[in-house]
Amino acid sequence: MKMSIVIPCYNEEENIPLILEKFGSIIKKENIEVILVNNGSTDNSKEILEKLLPKYQFSRVVQVSKNQGYGHGIIKGLEVATGEFLGWTHADLQTDPYDVIKAYKILEDRNWDKNIYIKGKRKNRTFIENFFIVGMSIFETLYLKKNLWDINGQPNIFSKDFYKTWENPPKDFSLDLYALFLAKEQKRKIVRINVLFPKRVNGKSSWNTGFLARWKLIKRIIKFSIELKRKGIK
């Protein structure tokens, strides 16, 4: 079976070479397609991708001219993915590309069960980061009445059949919540894998820049949670 992994990149010119090198060192016999989405970057990400991708046959690029959000970039990548299983992870190398290989092997061991949803569960977080993770997890679980722990953990891996059930997914970081909630709603088998989250390797996060940025993110996710509960999804 083939797996397609989408990596949204916004101003990740320093990390892109490292991402490709890392995936190049760990993809062996696994049939994995890596789709890097240049999500409206204003640095040299486009030029670096065009230069490096020919060296890595497992990779391809999707160019998004204007950044419309984290979720939008992921969706654009999923739209062109050719794998029977799909997913996404981050470009900042705070998620180890080898976690994708772990997910691949889980699916392989389970005979490519299309009802499985694999999601990372973050370890090695700071006290402040854990404070936000625990707080949001408790709120989402109680408010939406489903076990929604560490909704922004990476990677997220699922079947194309599951992806085809999506309707109007959000274009921002609420996409993580949307996908996990929908998997729970459809009673899919949720498999959590422990992943380490080290410090960012290069550059600055486009969203995780301090308390106010985190609070802004939380407010957006809470707003989406309210819409989710009011409208419901299928």
Contacts of 21 (CB under 8 A, 6+ apart): none
Q: What is the Cα–Cα distance from 192 to 56, expressed in whole angstroms?
A: 29
Report whether pLDDT(127) > 80. Answer: no
pTM of the predicted model, to two decimals?
0.90
pLDDT value for 198: 61
pLDDT value for 208: 52
65: domain CATH number?
3.90.550.10
Q: What is the Cα–Cα distance from 77 to 167, expressed in whole angstroms?
A: 16
The mean pLDDT value of the chain amounts to: 91
Task: Give the pLDDT band (50/70/90) at residue 230.
Answer: confident
- What confidence tens digit (pLDDT) does each residue in 24-78 have? 999 988 999 999 999 999 999 999 999 999 999 999 999 999 999 999 999 999 9
Peptide bond into 155 cis (omega under 30): yes
Q: Calculate the alpha carbon distances from 222 to 51, 171, 215, 228 in Å.
A: 40, 15, 10, 10
- What confidence tens digit (pLDDT) does each residue in 162-220 have? 999 999 999 999 999 999 999 999 999 999 999 986 655 555 555 455 668 778 888 88
Write out the residue range of the structural domain in which residue 98 sits.
3-231
Report whether pLDDT(132) > 60. Answer: yes
Nearest residue to 190 via CA among 146, 232, 130: 146
Number of domains in the chain: 1
Report whether pLDDT(12) > 90. Answer: yes
pLDDT value for 165: 97
73 within 8 A of 64, measured Cβ to Cβ: yes
Q: What is the Cα–Cα distance from 33 to 145, expressed in whole angstroms?
A: 35
